[in-house]
Amino acid sequence: MSGSKAAHRGDMAAQLISGHGCFRSYLKRFGHEDADDCPWCGGGRSETAEHVLFSCVKYARERSSLETVLGGRLNADNLVPFMLQGEAKWQAVNSFAAAITTELRREESPRIIEKKYFEKIGGVRRGWRRIKDATIKLRMLRERFATDVSSLNNALEDVFCET
Ligand SMILES: [Zn+2]
């Protein structure tokens, strides 16, 4: 793994822990989601950083593998101490965080990306013709990268950053 890739994975853990990821609780604050309930656990549990890291059933298998590496149950108090116990545990936590982030982005894509996209072109570029062109472009991107979410995210970032 290259240094920049390792740093990127580290960023994922930091992003998850700080709660500035793709959680419904975070998205809801910015009006991208109507509800912040965890779709896997329900029962009024908010999809927060704490929830996905320490208790969400969706990630039970990955969490169990991680806990085998760490040598104990993971919780909010021991996450950072575990990470500081050596490179292997540091990497294991980052891999767990990266897996969660990837899954959250994958879930987010169909629900959020179109809404964000239309908000952007609605505000910046008025006119049916441009909206139609953008819709075709977006549809092509989604088809092209239907099985490759990281490429899709990169491509959409390029679209969003167009001026
Ligand atoms: Zn859950």
The per-residue pLDDT string of the chain (163 residues; one tens digit each, 9 = 90 and over) reads: 444 444 444 555 666 666 555 666 666 655 655 566 788 887 778 778 888 889 999 999 999 999 999 999 998 888 888 888 888 988 898 889 888 888 877 776 665 666 666 565 555 545 555 555 666 666 666 666 555 556 656 655 665 554 3
- Cα–Cα dist 24/144, whole Å: 27
pTM: 0.54
Distance 61 CA to ligand 1 centre (A): 13
Distance 108 CA to ligand 1 centre (A): 15
Distance 156 CA to ligand 1 centre (A): 27
Distance 29 CA to ligand 1 centre (A): 19
